[in-house]
Chains A and B, each alone.
Chain A
């Protein structure tokens, strides 16, 4: 055997860690762009989970799902970055704490 294959649980642990880092980042970080990156991290954690399970089962559904997720994430990023630019143009900052004009 040329190399020792990495067992599936390792991939899953990595994906779970990425997902948790992403979720924590969305909740804690204050820079809009960093928050945005954290969301991408969460999507990629889901991607990795799909791929790990697909490899484990020898099933193509998970592989195909990953392509769809990548495409959707790209579309979302386009609109999301446009909105971040609109926020920056109207306020000159992308700090989330300063984006709070509406009263409760």
Chain B
């Protein structure tokens, strides 16, 4: 019998996920010994500590050389290690927000944090996966945990409705992807992405239908997960109905992990096919997502729903980066959807795109979680069934009552809109510059116009906070130190990374961000 031999080097990349799973088990087991009235303040702190430790391991993994681990079922490269850091930061912030949120609803239980940490472990492992079954299992680990989190609150009909919609469409997407993976397995005889490209080149000549159907289904599955138009229908309802800290985790972590896996799969497999096909597919998705995401957000008066549409728009900007990976470099005369045969861009340009995507993911994570955090403080349990808990009027006159909160929200809105000096602006600069360098001038212009339209609805929140008088009996934000720590941390990160991005860009200044065979 040939037993595979593993060394410690194989296990380093999965240690962050291991830490999170361990902490989740501790949280679940300790819950057994608590009475319903017992204080559960330690739970969010423990989650934050676990995320911090896992993030530090991820950060130290950044320095390692990219390599395939665990017999090629996973890879360890700076791309996935940086995702580990982003996911851990996002989960820690969301756990801090959850403490206050759940306590006010009398729903704070260890299982909530355990599910959050399981989801985070799934995200980290999804970023590492280099084999279709591993990818599917990890995708389900993160999805099943998020379905349960979405339906966590059992008061009112919204959470269960949101959980149900998320479950049906998430499972549908997973099934599409799995069937696509099965077809690709049939065409190549392997499920490992690093080994697939070779046999795929042969199979595309003999069985093109099988290969292209497989590609299409896998791409559709991913498009559901990252909420790209036209696969976005579930997003607004799910984001609105889910508990706000969970929405924050979904908009940041789930999306980041899905994008990393998407890039890994398609960069690994597309050399076998004409690069023009993935380019057309992803650039079409990018245009639709950027434009429609922003247009649909324009009329929203419900701030939580507006942020849901805005997260769709941000997925569009990231999709622009993904499209740039398959573009022909340097030729700016190519139109929005060029019909000339394309060749892959140089590895230097590709690396710039990877850098842009990663920086953007980090920037979006800290900003979006901060924005949802402000909503956590302003919403009230009683109003959730009435549906006005997230109305724009909640923000009226906030600046005169609570200037600190208003300032934090302004920072987040400016960052989402891409106004300097915030991390959102810098992320857009890096991403759009990489896209223009790759020859996607038309797409980048569409993206910039769409994000200019987006500034309208972000600034409307700021206008309400600073220029509208506070209504009678206006609510003050619920104060809790964990919420405040999370908001201050994300606001400081938003401005700091926007002004001094040096440490982050130095971390990403490498020529081997993504492991390729």
Residue ranges of A at the interface with B (Cβ–Cβ < 8 Å): 12, 15, 19, 22-23, 26, 32, 35-36, 39, 42-43, 45-47, 49-50, 52-53, 56-57, 59, 61-62, 64-65, 68-69, 72, 75-76, 79-80, 82-84, 86-87, 89-91, 99, 101-104
Contact = CB atoms under 8 A, between A and B. Distances in A.
A55 B182 CA distance: 13
Interface in B228-244: 236-237, 240-241
Interface in B104-147: 132-133, 136-137, 140, 143-144, 147
Contacts of B241: 102
B190 A61 contact: yes
Contact of B164 (A15, A45, A84): A84
Contacts of B154: 86, 89-90
A65 B164 contact: no
Contacts of B174: 43, 76
A23 to B, nearest CB: 8
A29 to B, nearest CB: 11
B144 A87 contact: no
Which 8 A/B pairs are nearest by Cβ-Cβ distance?
A42-B175, A49-B182, A53-B186, A86-B160, A46-B178, A46-B179, A90-B157, A87-B160
12 contacts: A32-B168, A39-B171, A39-B175, A50-B185, A53-B186, A65-B133, A68-B136, A69-B136, A83-B167, A86-B163, A87-B161, A101-B158
B155 to A, nearest CB: 9
Nearest to B213: A16
Contacts of A75: 140, 144
Given A65-B185, A75-B140, A43 B178 contact: yes
A65 B191 contact: yes
B175 A49 contact: no
B182 A72 contact: no
Interface string B161-183: 11111011001101110110111
Contacts of B165: 99
B223 to A, nearest CB: 15
A10 to B, nearest CB: 14
A54 to B, nearest CB: 8
Contact of B185 (A19, A62, A84): A62
Contacts of A35: 168
Interface in B174-216: 174-176, 178-179, 181-183, 185-186, 189-191
Contact of A83 (B151, B176, B190): B151
B179 A45 contact: yes
A8 to B, nearest CB: 9
Residue picked from B143, B182, B302, most chain A C-beta under 10 Å? B182
B168 to A, nearest CB: 6
A32 B161 CA distance: 11
A26 B171 CA distance: 10
Residue picked from A36, A52, A61, most chain B C-beta under 10 Å? A61
Contacts of A62: 185
A49 B140 contact: no
A90 B160 contact: yes
B403 interface: no
B175 A68 contact: no
Nearest to B154: A86
Given A68-B133, A102-B241, A26 B172 contact: yes
Nearest to B238: A102
Contacts of A65: 132-133, 182, 185, 191
Contacts of B175: 22, 39, 42-43, 46
Given A19-B179, A26-B168, A72-B137, A53 B148 contact: no
Given A65-B191, A103-B387, A80 B137 contact: no
Interface string B314-330: 00000000000000000
B471 interface: no
Given A61-B191, A76-B140, A69 B236 contact: no
Given A46-B175, A75-B144, A91-B157, A102 B237 contact: yes
A46 B240 CA distance: 32
A78 to B, nearest CB: 8
Nearest to B241: A102
Contacts of B182: 15, 46-47, 49-50, 53, 65
Contacts of B186: 12, 49, 52-53, 56
Given A57-B189, A86-B151, A49 B156 contact: no
Nearest to B145: A79
B179 A42 contact: yes
A49 B147 contact: no
